[in-house]
Amino acid sequence: MNAVPFLDLSIEFWRLETEWLDTIRASGASGRFIMGPQVTGFEREAAEYLGVEHAVAVANGTDALWLSLRALQIGPGDEVITTPFTFFATAEVISQVGATPVFVDICEDTFNLDEDQIAARITSNTRAIVPVHLFGQPLDMDKIVALAQDSGLAVVEDCAQAFGARWGDAAVGSMGDTGCFSFYPTKVLGCYGDGGMVATRRADVAARIRHLRDHSAVAAYIHDGVGHNSRLDEIQAALLRIKLRTIGSALAERRRVASRYAERLDGLDIVLPSPRAGSEHVFNSYTIRVADRDRVRQKLSDQGIASAVYYPQPLHKQPVYRSLGNRNGALPVSESVCGQVISLPIFPDMTSAQIDQVCAVLASAITGVT
Ligand SMILES: Cc1ncc(COP(=O)(O)O)c(C=O)c1O
């Protein structure tokens, strides 16, 4: 049996090689390497794809979140509600601006922030909600936006793993005050280095982020604030433009893999992803829950099948956030799923034979029958 990688980015590279290398040559010849026509072209096309007025390319997804919070003037003394079951950056940026993350537990079936538990954690200090469309699965944005409007809160969507996902007719990233994307290579829309973007309908917020991402410059070498260097380069933007043109087929490929997994794994003692009615999941990860996670992972690994654990520890139990006082058992769903999740290989071009091989090994690990 051949090994099955967790993801294989080389297949796509070879498909795009000529077109991308041609654009690198053109950028080199033009002498524009940072914030040139490829970046503005990508911002225009990404905004159009997402159905927002403004897209501002930045250096990575963490900066997209951090610059959003800064642009919304969230800072010391403020509380920001988010999920404890996410990549660290989501909460890290809240702390970086001097605010306090307030963790609310997640739903068992979606792994996302439980929309119905948010209201109880809003205080007079709460300024924003940062929902994370984890693994590519959208939250119920109707509920989040309505609650935020009623309570006077901002919404910063963490869409790092969910480019192209939709809640109803709307793309994720288009419903909050900002939508923050990562183009880290493993993401649904990934470049060949670091990259990120903020999408927004708000002209005022877009203008503040453009200002902050370039050292708060108002003219050449004139600065009216303390900003940051967070720019996307031309070569990454050129690649993202190429990939954006075929994002529909990349997403369809991920859905093909996910539906074959769902078909083949049905009936086993495994909790499978369950996209909500009316939403479009993009399966940045295909994450399942099993009772005896570490033994099952070992069996997969023994048979050459790569897997990952996103995430082994909820954020409220991270050493840095212990001082927030969330005792053991405070957020029980997050705590239990961290011990049960396995993310299986998923990538465009994954063959049916590879999917079936993963399913066969998983079935024998779960049932004990080889
Ligand atoms: C949910 C989430 N938020 C934020 C980020 C940060 O993105 P980046 O790595 O581009 O800074 C990531 C990236 O892994 C992520 O998965």
199 contact partners, CB below 8 Å, separation of at least 6: 46, 47, 50, 52, 54, 55, 159, 173, 174, 178, 179, 180, 181
Provide the pLDDT for residue 134: 98
Amino acid at 76: P
Planar angle of CA 19, 20, 24, nearest 5 degrees: 120
Name which residue sits closest to atom 8 of ligand 1, judged by CA: 61
**C-beta of 230 in contact with ligand 1 (< 6 A):** no
Probe target for ligand 1 pocket from 7, 60, 62, 228, with the most ligand atoms within 8 Å of CB: 62
Q: Is the CB of residue 90 below 6 angstroms from any atom belonging to ligand 1?
A: yes
Q: Determine contact, residues 243/189, Cβ cutoff 8 Å.
A: yes
Give the pLDDT confidence score for residue 350 in this predicted structure. 97
Residue 134: closest CA among 301, 318, 327, 334 = 334
Please list, in sequence order, all residues whose beta carbon lies within 8 angstroms of the beta carbon of residue 246, skipping any fewer than 6 positions away.
Answer: none
**The pLDDT value given to residue 370:** 60
CA of 224 to the centre of ligand 1 (A): 29
pLDDT value for 369 = 66
Computed on alpha carbons and rounded to an integer, the radius of gyration of the chain in Å comes to 21
Per-residue pLDDT 10s for the chain (370 aa) are 789 999 999 999 999 999 989 989 998 899 899 989 999 999 999 999 999 999 999 999 999 999 999 999 999 999 999 999 999 999 999 999 999 999 999 999 999 999 999 999 999 999 999 999 999 999 999 999 999 999 999 999 999 999 999 999 999 999 999 999 999 999 999 999 999 999 999 999 999 999 999 999 999 999 999 999 999 999 999 999 999 999 999 999 999 999 999 999 999 999 999 989 999 999 999 999 999 999 999 999 999 999 999 999 999 999 999 999 888 889 999 999 999 999 999 999 999 999 999 999 999 999 986 6
3 Cα: distance to centroid of ligand 1 (angstroms): 28
Instruction: Give all domains of the chain, ordered by start, each with its CATH number.
Output: 10-103+114-245 (3.40.640.10), 248-367 (3.90.1150.10)
Model's pTM, two decimal places?
Answer: 0.97
What was the pLDDT predicted at 327? 84
* 189 CB-near residues (< 8 Å, 6+ apart): 163, 164, 181, 183, 240, 243, 244, 247, 250
